[in-house]
């Protein structure tokens, strides 16, 4: 019994070492979402299509895709990064535009840290002022 338990534990550890949280094949599980929540999944798909490629979109396909890539880089969704990078290439974006989009994301995200630093300083100052009174 102990041997089976040890063997099972070793098997689980080996599997953990070989499993990635971001495997391209994980996209196959999209069908589970589609089957389990069909109306919401359809609405999600239609929203993405309308926002990125909808009729009358005032933002051309290349720039809409670069915006989508910027959001994907910000949210750090590896599947979205892959999808929108490929879409950007197909829409005519250059490597320089991808690089600049990346640097804009880095700058804006850094700005978020500074913005939160303003709040931290505010709360610190308020706490010090209260304790001094």
CATH code, domain carrying 101 = 1.20.1290.10
**Number of domains observed in the structure of the chain:** 1
Least confidently predicted of 18-27, 36-45, 88-97? 18-27
Look at residue 98 and tell me if it is in a domain: yes
Which of the 8 DSSP states describes residue 25?
G
Do the beta carbons of residue 68 and residue 74 sit within 8 Å?
A: no
Per-residue pLDDT band for 4 (boundaries 50, 70, 90) equals low
Within a domain: 128: yes
Which pTM value belongs to this model? 0.74
Question: CA 120, CA 7: separation in Å to the nearest integer?
Answer: 50
Boundaries of domain holding 92 = 58-132
Q: How many CB atoms lie within 10 A of CB 44?
A: 13
- The 10s digit of each residue's pLDDT in 74-111 is 999 999 999 999 999 999 999 999 999 999 999 999 99
Domain-embedded: residue 31: no
State residue 3's pLDDT score. 62
What mean pLDDT is reported for the chain? 90
Contacts of 81 (CB under 8 A, 6+ apart): 69, 72, 73
Share of the chain above pLDDT 90, in %: 75
Average pLDDT over residues 31-38: 96
Q: Residue 75 falls within a domain, yes or no?
A: yes
Phi, psi angles (nearest 5°) of residue 54: -70, 155
pLDDT band at 15 (very low <50, low <70, confident <90, very high): low
Q: Is residue 23 part of a domain?
A: no
């Amino acid at each position: 019994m102990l041997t089976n338990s040890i063997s099972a534990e070793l098997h689980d550890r080996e599997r953990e070492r070989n499993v990635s949280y971001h495997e391209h094949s994980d996209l196959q599980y999209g069908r589970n979402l589609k089957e389990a929540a069909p109306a919401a999944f359809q609405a999600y798909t239609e929203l993405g299509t309308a926002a990125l490629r909808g009729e009358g979109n005032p933002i051309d396909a290349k720039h809409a895709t670069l915006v989508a890539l910027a959001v994907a880089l910000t949210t750090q969704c590896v599947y979205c990064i892959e999808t929108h990078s490929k879409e950007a290439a197909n829409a005519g974006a250059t490597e320089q535009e991808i690089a600049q989009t990346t640097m804009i994301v880095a700058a804006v995200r850094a700005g978020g840290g500074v913005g939160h630093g303003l709040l931290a300083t505010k709360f610190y100052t308020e706490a010090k002022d209260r304790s001094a009174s």
